[in-house]
Structure 1
Amino acid sequence: MNNNSVTPSYFEFTLFSDYGSLRSLFFNLCLLIYMTIISANVVIILTVCLDKSLHQPMYIFICCLCLNSLYGSAGFFPRFLMDILSDTHFISRPLCFVQIYVIHTYKAHELSLLSAMACDRFIAICQPLHYHSKMTSRVVGQLVICTVLCPACILGYFTYQSSSLSLCGYKLHRIVCTNWSVVQLSCVDTTMIITVGQFLAVTTIFIPLFFVLYTYLRILLVCRRSSSEFRGKALQTCLPHIVTFVNFCISLFCEFSLSLSKVGEVNPFVIVTLSLEFLIIPPLSNPLIYGLNLPQIRGVIYGFLK
């Protein structure tokens, strides 16, 4: 296949190298990371599901966050592990767009869930007397459904539009399929798709960011007028969420900056590092942050171990 052919049936990742004797080392390291992600997230999910004292909005959102980590990791790691061991790095066109959809919805679900968690903490700390009347099981269910279905539908349509493009190339300067790298191979004018994509990317990052900043500004104002004991309890429940949200926003910002950069001007090592960062660090750090910092979850886990 040459670069002038239209609508290739597969794509080739060009950033994979022949690691030689280090191939097995890289594979085992990545497999260990993937197994750790699965184990850590499953522990949190089972802890929340099996202990009735954790059937509260905050822990339900944490459980959903861990489920989303498993979802995003499943869209990346199996294929990535195969590519490490393989001498050729081709992926079929349908599988590439499936991976694009899974990874993009994983990012959108993560931001939506973190925003819902910020709303939950805002009501719990700033309006404690109305918390149980506002954050009912029905409201929590509606929030979870909304955070899942809205990004799934919007990104499903956008991914479909990208998949219908005629392409004049098949080489992706990535280790994973991304919508931006595929659209750049288009034979037709993609100004509209690129503009809409950038608008969606900016809005899905900055609207949740501003919302979370607003809620925590209100929380800080309430804590400032409260007792030291109240501030300690508020910080205990809010700090893991703040760390998780900041970490994920930094990851997304790096990945978004990479998408806007010209492929030939970026060092391949930087591309690989930024591509892996948001797919490895959040799924790995989320269960550790919540499992170690929230005494309710930590206590239940210790109880299971004993």
Structure 2
Amino acid sequence: MNNASTIVLFSLSGFSATVNYRGTFFCLSLLCYFLIVVVNVCLILTILMDHNLHEPMYMFLCSLCFNGLYGAVGFYPKFVYDLLCDVQVISYVGCLLQIFIIYSNVKVDYSMLVLMSYDRYVAICRPLEYHSMMSVRRSAVLLSLSWLVPLCCESLVISLTSKLTLCGSIIQKLYCENWSVVKLACGSTKANDVVGLIVIAFYFCHAVCIACSYVLLVKSALKSKEGRKKFTQTCLPHLFCLLNVTTALLFDVMYSRYGSASMSQNLKNFMAVQFLVFPPILNPVIYGLVLTKIRHRMIYLCKLAFQRLKLKSTF
């Protein structure tokens, strides 16, 4: 990667507020990482091991959980390590890699939520055409695009950022974030700003698509008791997850773009990391509790595991 600047290390100044609580934050971070891994892996294995769950909706959910693991890898190992260090630094290449993983993870999340809302729209509003419109081949193509488009989009953003000449090396966050790096540039950042606005507009269109699909879903669900039941069982968890991700992301965007210097560092840190903490834990929990097929399957697997342990203990 060609870099016109001489910056080789970035300093992460957000850790200045954690000096007196590093032990507590270290334990909480490990707990969060453990929970993210456990709940997402459990849901992924439950879906993959049960052929009755090999339907588009559940495969999209499986991909959403995998994306939660992918995003956690980009943040937690480095964050936990920094909590144990006296000086928190990250290499230039490592910083760009962290930006790529964390923010492509967010973009994939939104793409998956759009795809899942489209799947529910077809299932409820056009049930007779569901199997033709959501065939295995088409579902695989849509699933691939929900990953490829965000990854290509973030690659473009990182490519533009890597060409900037930087005049500073202090990132006022707990991790690397694209806007924080762009603000360190010496020269013009118009290309970055334009691409950033295009990306925001593109994902705003995602939100509009989701809103339109739910207007149609609600209209269709109100027509029959069966439609209302299907909407409650399969759409409410999606809405909760959408609200979860959107709220968390808005906090981060508002903090990055318009964060006030008068805000306490602890509040800034919370706003910066909550989209990396809550969505990957809550999303699989919400789906696991609300979706009947998954809940019953997980209860069955837990009972089976308990019985096997009990049987072994008797010998």
- Report the TM range for the smaller structure's normalisation: over 0.9
Q: Show the counterpart of 1:171.
A: 170
Measured in 1, the distance between the counterparts of 2:6 and 2:259 equals 23
Unaligned runs of 5+ in 1: none
Measured in 2, the distance between the counterparts of 1:274 and 1:198 equals 21
Contact 2:124 2:227 (8 Å CA) reproduced: no
* Displacement after TM superposition at 1:262 (Å): 5.0
Q: Show the counterpart of 2:245.
A: 248
Q: Residue type matched to 1:258 in 2?
A: Y
Contact 2:5 2:164 (8 Å CA) reproduced: no
**Structure 1 pair 270–24 and aligned structure 2 pair: CA distance change class (3 A):** closer
Which of 222, 225, 229 is residue 223 of structure 2 equivalent to?
Answer: 225
**Structure 1 pair 158–22 and aligned structure 2 pair: CA distance change class (3 A):** closer
* Displacement after TM superposition at 1:272 (Å): 0.6
Unaligned runs of 5+ in 2: 304-315
**Structure 1 pair 19–278 and aligned structure 2 pair: CA distance change class (3 A):** closer
TM-score normalized by the length of structure 2:
0.92
Measured in 2, the distance between the counterparts of 1:20 and 1:114 equals 38
Measured in 2, the distance between the counterparts of 1:19 and 1:200 equals 33
Contact 1:14 1:174 (8 Å CA) reproduced: yes
Measured in 2, the distance between the counterparts of 1:304 and 1:83 equals 38
Q: Show the counterpart of 1:78.
A: 77
* Displacement after TM superposition at 1:164 (Å): 1.8
* Displacement after TM superposition at 1:304 (Å): 0.7
Measured in 1, the distance between the counterparts of 2:27 and 2:42 equals 22
Question: Quick check: 1:203 aligned with 2:202?
Answer: yes
Contact 1:8 1:167 (8 Å CA) reproduced: yes
Q: Residue type matched to 2:137 in 1?
A: R
The DSSP-based 3-state class of the residue aligned with 1:283 is: helix
Measured in 2, the distance between the counterparts of 1:21 and 1:249 equals 32
Q: Residue type matched to 1:286 in 2?
A: N
Range with greater deviation from structure 2 (190-199 or 140-149)? 190-199
Question: Quick check: 1:88 aligned with 2:91?
Answer: no
The DSSP-based 3-state class of the residue aligned with 1:108 is: helix
Q: Show the counterpart of 1:212.
A: 210
**Structure 1 pair 263–86 and aligned structure 2 pair: CA distance change class (3 A):** farther
* Displacement after TM superposition at 1:20 (Å): 5.5
**Structure 1 pair 202–271 and aligned structure 2 pair: CA distance change class (3 A):** farther
Measured in 2, the distance between the counterparts of 1:242 and 1:125 equals 15
TM-score normalized by the length of structure 1:
0.94
| Deviation readout 1:162-202 (Å, 9 max, x if unpaired) | 01211000000000100000000001111231232133123
Which of 267, 282, 297 is residue 270 of structure 1 equivalent to?
Answer: 267
The DSSP-based 3-state class of the residue aligned with 2:16 is: coil
The DSSP-based 3-state class of the residue aligned with 1:96 is: helix
Question: Quick check: 1:99 aligned with 2:86?
Answer: no
Q: Show the counterpart of 2:128.
A: 129
The DSSP-based 3-state class of the residue aligned with 1:76 is: helix
Measured in 2, the distance between the counterparts of 1:270 and 1:19 equals 12
Contact 1:113 1:147 (8 Å CA) reproduced: yes
Measured in 1, the distance between the counterparts of 2:20 and 2:199 equals 42
Q: Show the counterpart of 2:313.
A: none
Measured in 2, the distance between the counterparts of 1:274 and 1:246 equals 16
Q: Show the counterpart of 1:140.
A: 139
Q: Show the counterpart of 1:40.
A: 39
Q: Residue type matched to 1:58 in 2?
A: M
Q: Residue type matched to 1:261 in 2?
A: Y
Aligned residues: 300
Q: Residue type matched to 1:40 in 2?
A: V
Contact 2:220 2:227 (8 Å CA) reproduced: no
Measured in 1, the distance between the counterparts of 2:230 and 2:48 equals 24
Contact 1:18 1:87 (8 Å CA) reproduced: no
Measured in 2, the distance between the counterparts of 1:203 and 1:18 equals 35
* Displacement after TM superposition at 1:265 (Å): 4.1
Contact 1:169 1:185 (8 Å CA) reproduced: yes
Q: Residue type matched to 1:213 in 2?
A: A
| Deviation readout 1:254-286 (Å, 9 max, x if unpaired) | 111112115634432222111111101000101
Q: What is the 5 A alignment of 1:158-197?
A: 158-197=157-196
Contact 1:173 1:263 (8 Å CA) reproduced: no
Contact 2:37 2:69 (8 Å CA) reproduced: yes
* Displacement after TM superposition at 1:151 (Å): 1.2
* Displacement after TM superposition at 1:22 (Å): 3.4
Measured in 2, the distance between the counterparts of 1:224 and 1:299 equals 27
